[in-house]
Amino acid sequence: MLIEKRLEDLGITLPKVPTPVGTYIPAVQMGGLLFLGGQGPLLPTGENALGKLGDGVSVAEGYDRARLTGLYLIAVMKETLGDLDRVKRIGKVLGMVNCVPEFGDTPGVINGCSDLFLQVFGEKGRHARSSVGMSTLPGNMTVEIECVIEIEP
């Protein structure tokens, strides 16, 4: 329960995992890997944070929304694994940013999630990553992030 203690020390409460809106499940375990499907920045109101980077949404707002999305990813890990100490390593993160074609700072946005993973998991949270700009995302949400993690049995 070291990771959960760290969350508590950081003042972080994990959100409830949202019900999938399509024909999929939030996570699939295959051997020693856990594949987490895309999550978005669900606000306390129950609605996704919407909008495009470069058209009304700032990099700072995008960063915060990516961090919020990271909290949902950790919540999926917790719900699936039962114990966050089973996370051996965050392996790969794919961050998708809803943005105008000219927007070039997708890494600065997805750092919100990456920084959270480092804060919560320490060096186990350091990961490979891709951050890409998209012309749109489901429901016009600002970011969608998925990841693959290595887990302990």
Q: Assign 91 a pLDDT band (cuts: 50, 70, 90).
A: very high
pLDDT, one tens digit per residue, over 127-152 is: 999 999 999 999 999 999 999 999 99
Q: What is the rounded CA–CA span in Å between residue 153 and residue 144?
A: 28
* 20 three-state secondary structure: coil
Domain locations in the chain?
Answer: 2-20+36-151
* 10 three-state secondary structure: coil
Considering only residues 92 and 22, tell me which one the structure prediction assigns the higher pLDDT: 92
pTM (2 d.p.)? 0.97
pLDDT, one tens digit per residue, over 19-54 is: 998 999 999 999 999 999 999 999 999 899 999 999
Q: 99-113: b or e for each residue (b if 16 or more CB lie within 10 Å)?
A: beeebebbebbbbbb
Q: What is the rounded CA–CA span in Å between residue 76 and residue 96?
A: 18
> pLDDT at position 130, please?
98
Regarding the domain with residue range 2-20+36-151, which homologous superfamily does it belong to in the CATH classification? RutC-like (3.30.1330.40)
Structure-token match 């009304």, residue found? 56
Q: What is the rounded CA–CA span in Å between residue 121 and residue 101?
A: 33
Structure tokens at 86: 């089973």
